Chains A and B, each alone.
Chain A
Amino acid sequence: MSLRDQTYLRIVLYEGRDAEPLDSEQRFQAVSRLLNQGFALTHVGGAGRTAPADDVPALVLGRFQNGLEKLAAEAASERVRFTNVSGLTDEQIVAAVESVRAEKQAVQHGGWKPWFPVIDYDRCTNCMQCLSFCLFGVYGADGAGHIQVQNQDNCKTNCPACSRVCPEAAIMFPKYKAGPINGDAVKDADLEREKMKVDISALLGGDIYSMLRARSERAQSRFSKERDSGKALNERQKCLTKLAQAGDIPPEVLMSLPSPEEILRRAGEAKAKALAALAAQR
């Protein structure tokens, strides 16, 4: 299922006027549990501001009193539903929310670790190196030829390799362990490091995939002469090890790479997309 085009459900925990507040511990536990289940919620307390209503269906939870429960029942509609949580434990509150989510067929969270590149357009120069580098179709270009992250869920979890080839340190992975890839400010020293990494890939043959291609060709050549599939496999494994070191790519991502031929095909497609996007800017 696509990450987008889904139904959303807004959860509101109402503790304002004419509602009895939850106990402190229960409030914290209920909010924590809902967040850990992937829900977002609006907490309405006695002070402060909440985001305004919109077209998203809402479930309002509260210990309604002074007739508010009756009013809530009368006001309930397809869009807004009220649930009185008086007497419910925090586990039961979460279960009640999950029940409404399932009934509304709203998005179920937690099926995908949100690992994907985020472009810092203050730094990006639209050079398309990321697009031509990524084999998994994460990047694309808009109608004006501007680089975009288009398929976040195609990204390989914990792989920050495209950020390593960005000459401007413009690609972030907010869940990465270290800066500047995690979004920390980019320092001059970071830029030097990033340049060094690109230089490493250049030394390996123009770019990492060029290296892979060259090694694949050499391996194929030997394979045709020697008919030794073991050597070809060994060659690929050596190549993958260097890739892992150069790009901080998790081994499981490398092991899931397709055959060298398929890599070449995908790399060719990615480069063609990048060239088309660059041409569209001119």
Chain B
Amino acid sequence: MTPDTPGILYCNCTYAQIIDPAVKGHVLRRLCDSGKSFEAVADLCEMSARKDPALKRLAGGPGVKIAACYPRAVKWLFASAGAPLDGARTEVLNMREQAGPAVIERLLADDVQPNLPPGKASPGVAPRGQTPEPEAQTGATSAEAPASA
């Protein structure tokens, strides 16, 4: 294990039937058999609504790979719970769209291929009539960088 090993987070989307159970099952089984450490949560949506403090520790660290749903949704689920993800060091695998083998291959890979939508790192909007200024997502230098737990 190296200090900059990315963390792995798996969302089971327990409270909805929107992800193919075969995809979820394949990813979770391979993850369990990988011998790697990982974080698994029942439902990121529920945690976000609760502002579960676990989201801050999950968002922290040198990088994270998340098996869940659409990157845009994942980005704002974390951000709206006060735990913004570092866009430069986060890769989201979309189990609603990608096949199980493709998801697990990227999840277990040692590198991170960042794919969060660019833009703001955390909530906050420009007043009506003003064009929001996009911010580069470079969490390492941003004041909005996720807090390390």
**Chain A residues packing against B (C-beta within 8 Å):** 3-4, 6, 8, 10, 24, 27-28, 31-32, 34-56, 107, 109-110, 112-116, 118-122, 124-127, 145-149, 152-153, 172, 174-175, 177, 179, 182-185, 278, 281-282
Q: Which 5 pairs across A and B sit closest by C-beta, in order of nearness?
A: A183-B73, A183-B70, A122-B119, A48-B37, A48-B36
Consensus secondary structure, chain A interface? loop
Give min CB distance, B16 to chain A, whole Å: 4
Q: Which A residues are CB-close (under 8 A) to B42?
A: 35-40, 109
Taking CB atoms, residues of chain A closer than 8 Å to B125 are 121, 124-126, 146-147
A152-B117 contact, Cβ under 8 Å, with A38-B42, A41-B40, A172-B73: no
CA distance A149 to B50 in the complex (A): 12
Instruction: State the B residues within 8 Å of A (CB).
Output: 1, 5-8, 12-16, 18, 28-29, 32-43, 45-54, 56-58, 60-62, 69-74, 76-77, 79-80, 96, 117-120, 122-129, 132, 134, 148-149
CB distance B49 to A153 under 8 Å? Answer: yes
A278 to B51, CA, bound (A): 26
| Inter-chain pairs besides A43-B32, A116-B45, 15 sampled, C-beta below 8 Å | A28-B29, A28-B33, A45-B35, A48-B7, A54-B56, A110-B15, A115-B45, A119-B123, A120-B76, A121-B122, A121-B125, A122-B132, A127-B128, A183-B74, A281-B127
Determine if A107 and B50 form an interchain contact, defined as CB atoms under 8 angstroms apart.
yes
Question: Are the C-beta atoms of B73 and A4 separated by less than 8 Å?
Answer: no
Partner pick for B148 among A10, A48, A52, A147, CB 8 A cutoff: A52
